[in-house]
Structure 1
Amino acid sequence: MSQESQHGRWSISDSEEEDNIIPPTPEKRSFTPSIKPNLESKPSKITTILKQKPEQSPNVNVNLNVKEPSAPFIRSEARQAAHGNQINPVKYESNPSPALKRKRETDEAGWNLSSSDDEETRPSVPKDEPKKVNVSPKKKKTEHTRPPSPHGACYYKEEPADFFETNLSMNDMYRFYLNKVTGIQKKFNTGALHIKEILSPMFGMLKESVQFNYCFDIPWMVEQYPPEFRDKPVVIVHGDKREAKARLIEQAKPYPHITFCQAKLDIAFGTHHTKMMLLWYEEGFRVIILTSNLIRADWYQKTQGLWMSPLYPRLPVGSPGLAGESPTNFKRDLLEYLEAYRAPELADWIDRIKQHDLSETRVYLIGSTPGRYQGPAMEKWGHLRLRKLLREHAHPIQNEERWPVIGQFSSIGSMGLDKTKWLAAEFQHTLSTLGRAEKSLPTPQPQMHLIYPSVENVRTSLEGYPAGGSLPYSIQTAQKQLWLHSYFHGWHADVTGRSNAMPHIKTYMRISPDFTQLAWFLVTSANLSKAAWGALEKNNTQIMVRSYELGVLYLPSAFNMSTFPVEKDVFSGSASSKGFPVPYDLPPHRYSSKDQPWIWNIPYTQAPDTHGNVWAPS
């Protein structure tokens, strides 16, 4: 079976189920920099086949049996400076700029792409591992006091002096914040947060912390803590195995206050993708659930989001175990999520949470943990957990079929040969659920808009083509689901000043036909993939989830509202506003006839990016 697209004619395999694939070792992906242009390198077979300009519609036959490059595939950006056999997608036309590399480590020779391609890639280089950089003779190496840029010495701009001046006078009713972005107008960083501010004494006198994440640059992470907290105990919860785990531990050797907790990943292609901070203060306890990895590039020129809990006070000694629960059962659900790790390293933290009052929480926790679940356990995790909460706590809406669903994400997994395999079946069913209202007749499903950056979005971004390294939609996955691209809308975020800061945030919502009212809103680590959200099996009697994910769901009922009004001026600073700060423009902008989704492992060589470079994976 074959289909036409702007990438040419693609042959479609009859078998694309993840379970039919022999899994490689699920190690992290990554890239390393090279400042010197490599204009004489031989293109790979993929590069040779797909050499045409992205904006054109070449008549190309893509053979699914193309042999992949025989390089190891390393997913963790912070750990590969000494490795050879690397891909170098960025070629330099004029100005030096980021060079991106991304690999996946396997035990076998060669590498394979997971069809559940929801893992992220972002660069970072640890201080304790020397970085080999080839500098063009005409350019002198720039000295930096910060950790070296993974994209080269000329990549990171210095933040202005007032960049870290925290101003949370904006409406914090929802406690939903964007990250600060370097290179945008100051007003668009008002009320936004940087990791240095999150960990600062402004929010509490820190005693200990836990960092759950996917990618780590430990030296950089340590520097984000203020000096007075820099030796406080930190537990790192990760999913690394074998060589990647050894490199992570090696990074931490200079820091005796850091210990590790390895998340169990027993299902192929699963990842520890959750991003959360547990912060224990002298004054109490706080939870941060976010979308950023703990690496420099994620806090630089990408759009990220986070939910910051209130400061939870300690309960009186002798309080019962169920004390301090919120109307959203957040305490119970957080404890259940942590207990799912089955990790002794988290036992003390579970006890600490039990000793604090979380009753002020107004969001619901949506988690994924690896496993196959049946019976009542099916509704504990993944998209069935979201469906349960929308059924029980969302308000029914008149003419709800006219209220579209929006999904926005930074990576895409294998959806199947047509929309009925997962997306428009079980997943859209979940996103379309609103209350318990019984329907005498079947109602049509609402429209679904999927927001994912186009090639032009990436090319014209603050980072240029290297921003696409954090948008890992592969040609191997895309060619099997051309039907999906008809759903796509571009990334436009003028309302937040972040149109040129590519999204690593992931959000899902149900919105009114005029895009002024929200039925619900979710910010999460979960991309658009079955690995993240789970997929039904055995005639819908079982759900299988591959990865750890975590997010928070905003429901109007928890705020004594029927719907959330959409905030028209996100950075108005109005403390009385009840408007929800949706982090991109509404209504979404459908792809034009010339637009195409960003695919990270094919070349874009006809039009240079904002740094004068082209993208040529080899």
Structure 2
Amino acid sequence: MFQESEHGKWTISSSDESTEEISDAEEPSTSSVSHSGHGKTSGSQYPCSEARKVAHKRKVFPVKCNDQSISTEISPAKNPRTSQQGLSWCLSSSDEETESEGQSKHAQNHTVKEEKYTEPKNQPSHRCGDNELSVSQKPEEHYKAASEGQDTWDLLNGRNPFRFFVTKVNGIKSKYNSGALHIKDILSPLFGTLVSSAQFNYCIDVEWLIKQYPREFRKKPLLIVHGEKRESKAELKMMILLYEEGLRVVIHTSNLIEDDWDQKTQGIWLSPLYPRLPQGTTGSAGESVTNFKSDLINYLMAYNSPTLKEWTDIIQEHDLSETRVYLLGSTPGRYQGNQKEKWGHLRLRKLLKENASPLPAQESWPVIGQFSSIGSMGGDHSKWLCSEFQESMATLGSSVKTLAKPDVPIQLIYPTVDNVRQSLEGYPAGGSLPYSIQTAQKQLWLHSYFHKWSAETSGRSHAMPHIKTYMRASPDFQKIAWFLVTSANLSKAAWGALEKNGTQLMIRSYELGVLFLPSAYVILPLSPLGPEYIFLPNAYFYFYYTVFIFAWFCFADRPWIWNIPYIKAPDTHGNMWVPS
């Protein structure tokens, strides 16, 4: 349903959630959401998750460290999922994952003492340095707009063959924003004369979003696809931008709210500008070697939405042959037979088996993942992480690691309490990392796999990561066999879980990402762009960014858990974290 405002004509659709058992025939529905004449959505500006709401509350009403009224016993915030536990499925978000089906109905009533947390006994022992950040430390400078800094057009079209970027961060040295983009850069008229656009996201502040478009584009048609109806949450984060000059697809990890584009590290893939095909072109014209065009159309068709049919037709009319990444998505449902490999981690397994190459000593190459939320994975590592998920991640060509030989290391990057406390935002940054105490207490075994961002070596380390990436890299981290940027967090809901003795894959959420494989790129000699852009034949490439620097958790490190208090040490703004 189109609606008029001073910002022009725009539409909001929502993915619905079924309370019935999943069937292959069930698809998300769409509905209209009311707004004011200025483009605001109804309700709270921060509807993303309970953790985000608490973070917003603490920004508005901070609790100072000298506040003597704070009790040393504080209950964790209530889990908003409790009322949904009887449902067969839901759409997860990048900010909050579905709890396991067996979660106690009274978990939210637990009383948690100040910073109560039990470390797993098998945590690796490593010496920790003192990486405290002064409370008085302030951001050094604001990031510069594209017009004031480097030539964004040159950056996009000549200096980054992977077309992978991180977001600009407000409050760090300009050199650490080199090669980074803000949403205003993406929507800049430098990239084309906009005709219409579609924004797919979980959490959206429409008024803020409209202001990110140049004034001359604010009256152009805008379709917003989200997942807020009846607690359903579609996690994919994508833009489709139609220009007079062509079409562009953007897949990223940010919500469409100001906080996610201000002081967080996010990942972005921007497609080339796809030209329109000659009129009357039919069939597979404009397809890439990675089948990106047909995969994107099939993904949008999975919504079974007449509104999106218009966009699939637009994609069909353009030449996407220059795409060098593979599309990897998830859609809710239960899949059998040849449908099993269309989505989730089995889709990744298939792509790696067919398009990646075995490497010497590849067993020692770890799988590395970083994410902003964690779902329930069972009572021990064999239930999912180090069985079906590891098998998919460890695939390189025909070499598939079996369940009987799980010798490929898994290294998981997740922020510590001190990472959050010492970040530019302080404790409220933890609102975008909703790992709950209810889930953490049931899987302490998982924490022995955790690594942290290294504050000592990364200039972006104080920008809280909201990025989600997975890769297979050499132990020295100098070579990468494959790399994935995606909306998918570490959860069975996002990646899928096998059922019925492995004959069926069940997925609970919508996800979208792009997979980089060396075989899809032109092999270059030593590049004048620098060693990070050197390709090596059909095996691996250098793909280095500071966002990947990490270190082992130490005994003193604790993973961030959003719904327990932290009142022993102040954050960078002199505040404590009291979620209730």
Name the TM-score, length of structure 1 as normaliser: 0.71
Deviation at 1:116, TM superposition (A): 9.4
* Counterpart residue number, 2:579: 617
* Counterpart residue number, 2:219: 231
Deviation at 1:582, TM superposition (A): 3.2
Tell me: CA distance 1:181–1:564, structure 2 relative to 1, closer, same or farther (3 Å).
farther
* Counterpart residue number, 1:83: none
* Counterpart residue number, 1:206: 194
Select which of 57, 62, 66 maps to 1:33: 57
Structure 2 unaligned regions, length at least 5: 1-19, 22-46, 97-137, 535-540
> Cα deviation per residue 1:486-516 (whole Å; 9 max; x = unaligned)?
0000012766621101110000000112211
* Counterpart residue number, 1:152: none
Select which of 401, 426, 438 maps to 1:464: 426
Q: Whole-Å Cα distance in 2 between the matches of residues 286 and 340 of structure 1? A: 21
Tell me: CA distance 1:539–1:104, structure 2 relative to 1, closer, same or farther (3 Å).
closer
Deviation at 1:191, TM superposition (A): 1.6
* Counterpart residue number, 2:100: none
Aligned 8 A contact 2:143 2:174 in 1: no
Q: Whole-Å Cα distance in 2 between the matches of residues 37 and 291 of structure 1? A: 28
* Counterpart residue number, 2:15: none
Larger deviation: 335-344 or 491-500?
491-500
Structure 1 segment 186-197 matched on structure 2, within 5 A: 186-197=174-185
* Counterpart residue number, 2:241: 279
Q: Does 1:324 align with 2:286?
A: yes
Q: Does 1:314 align with 2:276?
A: yes
Tell me: CA distance 1:167–1:105, structure 2 relative to 1, closer, same or farther (3 Å).
farther
> Cα deviation per residue 1:450-489 (whole Å; 9 max; x = unaligned)?
0000111111111111111101100000000000000000
SS in 2 for 1:485: helix
SS in 2 for 1:283: coil
Deviation at 1:338, TM superposition (A): 0.4
- Greater length-normalized contact order (CA 8 Å, ≥ 6 residues apart): 2
Q: Whole-Å Cα distance in 1 between the matches of residues 305 and 388 of structure 2? A: 32
Structure 1 segment 455-494 matched on structure 2, within 5 A: 455-492=417-454
Aligned length: 474
Q: Whole-Å Cα distance in 1 between the matches of residues 516 and 226 of structure 2? A: 27
> Cα deviation per residue 1:48-88 (whole Å; 9 max; x = unaligned)?
5x8xxxxxxxxxxxxxxxxx74xxx7xxxxxxxxxxxxxxx
Deviation at 1:446, TM superposition (A): 1.0
Aligned 8 A contact 2:480 2:542 in 1: no
Deviation at 1:445, TM superposition (A): 2.3
Aligned 8 A contact 2:454 2:461 in 1: yes
Matched residue type, 1:479:
Q
Q: Does 1:559 align with 2:521?
A: yes
* Counterpart residue number, 2:261: 299
Deviation at 1:33, TM superposition (A): 3.0
Tell me: CA distance 1:328–1:160, structure 2 relative to 1, closer, same or farther (3 Å).
closer
Matched residue type, 1:173:
P
Structure 1 segment 381-392 matched on structure 2, within 5 A: 381-392=343-354
Q: Whole-Å Cα distance in 1 between the matches of residues 215 and 162 of structure 2? A: 30
Aligned 8 A contact 1:188 1:571 in 2: no
Q: Whole-Å Cα distance in 1 between the matches of residues 400 and 561 of structure 2? A: 42
* Counterpart residue number, 1:159: 142
Tell me: CA distance 1:555–1:409, structure 2 relative to 1, closer, same or farther (3 Å).
same
* Counterpart residue number, 1:513: 475
Q: Does 1:344 align with 2:328?
A: no
* Counterpart residue number, 1:131: none
Select which of 168, 173, 189 maps to 1:185: 173
Q: Does 1:120 align with 2:95?
A: yes
Aligned 8 A contact 1:118 1:472 in 2: no
> Cα deviation per residue 1:349-389 (whole Å; 9 max; x = unaligned)?
11010010000000000000011000000000001000000
Aligned 8 A contact 1:493 1:584 in 2: no
Q: Whole-Å Cα distance in 2 between the matches of residues 606 and 237 of structure 1? A: 42
Matched residue type, 2:459:
G
Name the TM-score, length of structure 2 as normaliser: 0.75
Aligned 8 A contact 1:395 1:562 in 2: no
Aligned 8 A contact 1:496 1:570 in 2: no
* Counterpart residue number, 1:449: 411
Aligned 8 A contact 2:379 2:442 in 1: yes
Q: Does 1:584 align with 2:555?
A: no
Matched residue type, 1:504:
H
> Cα deviation per residue 1:245-300 (whole Å; 9 max; x = unaligned)?
xxxxxxxxxxxxxxxxxxxx6xxxxx300000000000000000000000000000
* Counterpart residue number, 1:58: none
Aligned 8 A contact 1:118 1:528 in 2: no
Tell me: CA distance 1:467–1:388, structure 2 relative to 1, closer, same or farther (3 Å).
same
Tell me: CA distance 1:118–1:418, structure 2 relative to 1, closer, same or farther (3 Å).
farther
Structure 1 segment 399-548 matched on structure 2, within 5 A: 399-437=361-399, 443-492=405-454, 497-548=459-510
Tell me: CA distance 1:494–1:345, structure 2 relative to 1, closer, same or farther (3 Å).
farther
Tell me: CA distance 1:161–1:438, structure 2 relative to 1, closer, same or farther (3 Å).
closer
SS in 1 for 2:175: helix
SS in 1 for 2:57: coil
For the aligned residue pairs, the C-alpha RMSD in angstroms reads 3.3
Tell me: CA distance 1:196–1:596, structure 2 relative to 1, closer, same or farther (3 Å).
same
Deviation at 1:585, TM superposition (A): 4.4
Matched residue type, 1:33:
K
Q: Does 1:240 align with 2:224?
A: no
Tell me: CA distance 1:227–1:597, structure 2 relative to 1, closer, same or farther (3 Å).
same
Structure 1 segment 59-98 matched on structure 2, within 5 A: 69=78
Counting aligned pairs with the same residue, the percent is 58
Q: Whole-Å Cα distance in 1 between the matches of residues 282 and 245 of structure 2? A: 21
Q: Whole-Å Cα distance in 2 between the matches of residues 472 and 215 of structure 1? A: 14
Deviation at 1:330, TM superposition (A): 0.2
Q: Whole-Å Cα distance in 2 between the matches of residues 115 and 357 of structure 1? A: 35
SS in 2 for 1:289: strand
> Cα deviation per residue 1:562-591 (whole Å; 9 max; x = unaligned)?
9999x998799xxxxx741334244x3000
Aligned 8 A contact 1:564 1:580 in 2: no
Q: Whole-Å Cα distance in 1 between the matches of residues 400 and 263 of structure 2? A: 46
Q: Whole-Å Cα distance in 1 between the matches of residues 517 and 174 of structure 2? A: 31
Matched residue type, 2:317:
Q
Q: Whole-Å Cα distance in 2 between the matches of residues 117 and 277 of structure 1? A: 19
Q: Whole-Å Cα distance in 2 between the matches of residues 192 and 570 of structure 1? A: 15
Deviation at 1:186, TM superposition (A): 0.7
Tell me: CA distance 1:160–1:342, structure 2 relative to 1, closer, same or farther (3 Å).
closer
Larger deviation: 487-496 or 330-339?
487-496
Tell me: CA distance 1:419–1:446, structure 2 relative to 1, closer, same or farther (3 Å).
same
Tell me: CA distance 1:437–1:488, structure 2 relative to 1, closer, same or farther (3 Å).
closer
Aligned 8 A contact 1:214 1:293 in 2: yes
Matched residue type, 2:57:
P
Q: Whole-Å Cα distance in 2 between the matches of residues 496 and 288 of structure 1? A: 26
